[in-house]
Chain A
Amino acid sequence: MSSTEMLLKRLPNDIGGLPADRIVQTDHPLLPWEKRCHALADVLDFHKIINAEEKRRGVAALGSELMGKLTYYERWAAAFANILFEKGILHPEELALKMTEVERRRQMELAL
């Protein structure tokens, strides 16, 4: 099978049965923002704004390079933004403005 044929048949997250490293029994308690991100995902699902399947596809759509570099909940946040843009619920510009505002607010809180 050619390498492109393999890529076509397997999406980046479709890894069942592939060779992989030894299992390292890693775990970490969720950071507060990660837990909030999880709560946000659940609430978005309840309201049918983004369901679990849309979220999974949104993460896959980030592509394998980003998927490899982002942490689990970073992928979720990035996927939410893209999906909400796609659905016309958020506009990229309003998110950018909000992020600047949030960042300033957080820096002021840290300076206190």
Chain B
Amino acid sequence: MNPHDHPHDHPHDHAPIESPADAAPSYYEVMETSIRELLVEKQLISPAEIRHQLEVLDSRTPALGAKIVARAWVDPEFRSRLLADGRLACEEFGITFYDDTKLIVLENTAKVHNLIVCTLCSCYPRPVLGLPPDWYKAKPYRARAVKEPRAVLKEFGTEIPEDVEIRVSDSTSMMRYLVLPRRPEGTENFTEEQLAALVTRDAMIGVITVNPVN
């Protein structure tokens, strides 16, 4: 039986399988197009704004976050500025934010490992990482990260030593977090670009660490 066929009294937050792009538009796709066109007709929004925002969405990828992390690893003064005010430091890179969202950068150390989540919905440091992966928006991660972070990390293949504290930060629409992972050993001679190439999206969410270089 399809698990979605039974009525439930609990929210399932994982998306059903998406329909292929070349099929006839779904009811909700038609609804989105219709809302957008009506608002354009009423001159409340413009097609140019939508186009521009699509370009902005495409421009935001975890590569931006990786650049920030690599710079923080090589430049102690930048690192201090980043930890003091994440948004201001990212704006030095020309990264644009929306409304008055705060970005708080959480530094992993030998004693603390950080993990970010949004238990209520899907708040995420979009200006520096782009859009969140589906699992970040789904119930298992949102429900369990705040309760049993070590078990959650294990499911990502990450084992954090018992003497390291795990801190979970729950995001809101006004307060987003980014994890500054630990610089792996063996990278002393790496260029900033080579360092950035090691930093992945999942390491900046905190579900994995940046792997040491062999």
Nearest CB to that of B133 among chain A residues? Answer: A27
Nearest CB to that of B29 among chain A residues? Answer: A33
- Asked if A86 is an interface residue, CB under 8 A from chain B, the answer is no
Q: Do A77 and B35 form a contact, CB below 8 Å, given A22-B140, A23-B144, A68-B8?
A: yes
Instruction: Verify B33–A102 contact, CB threshold 8 A.
Output: yes
The total of chain A residues at the interface (CB under 8 A) is 68
Q: How far is the CA of A22 from the CA of B151 in the complex (A)?
A: 9
**Contact indicator per residue, chain B 3-29, by CB within 8 Å of chain A (1) or not (0):** 010011111111110110100111011
Instruction: Verify A15–B142 contact, CB threshold 8 A.
Output: yes
Q: Which of B21, B28, B35 makes the CB contact (< 8 A) with A95?
A: B35
The total of chain B residues at the interface (CB under 8 A) is 64
Instruction: Tell me if A's interface is mostly helix, strand, loop or mixed.
Output: helix
Instruction: Verify A67–B31 contact, CB threshold 8 A.
Output: no
Instruction: Verify A12–B38 contact, CB threshold 8 A.
Output: no
Instruction: Verify A27–B134 contact, CB threshold 8 A.
Output: yes
Instruction: Verify A56–B121 contact, CB threshold 8 A.
Output: yes
In the complex, chain A residues 86-110 whose Cβ is within 8 Å of any chain B Cβ:
89-90, 94-95, 98-99, 101-103, 106-107, 110
Instruction: Verify A107–B34 contact, CB threshold 8 A.
Output: no
Q: Do A56 and B139 form a contact, CB below 8 Å, given A23-B156, A44-B45?
A: no
Instruction: Verify A40–B50 contact, CB threshold 8 A.
Output: yes
In the complex, chain B residues 133-167 whose Cβ is within 8 Å of any chain A Cβ:
133-135, 137-144, 146-147, 152, 155-156
Q: Which of B18, B24, B28, B152 makes the CB contact (< 8 A) with A106?
A: B24
Instruction: Verify A72–B15 contact, CB threshold 8 A.
Output: yes
Q: Do A77 and B31 form a contact, CB below 8 Å, given A15-B119, A46-B49?
A: yes
Instruction: Verify B137–A64 contact, CB threshold 8 A.
Output: no
- Asked if B85 is an interface residue, CB under 8 A from chain A, the answer is no
Instruction: Verify B53–A103 contact, CB threshold 8 A.
Output: no
- Asked if B98 is an interface residue, CB under 8 A from chain A, the answer is yes
Closest 5 CB pairs of A and B: A16-B119, A20-B143, A39-B53, A98-B34, A68-B12
Q: Write 20 A-B pairs (CB below 8 A) sorted by A numbering.
A: A13-B11, A15-B11, A16-B117, A16-B142, A20-B140, A22-B155, A24-B135, A30-B131, A31-B21, A33-B25, A36-B36, A40-B45, A42-B56, A46-B98, A49-B39, A56-B120, A68-B12, A71-B18, A90-B38, A95-B31
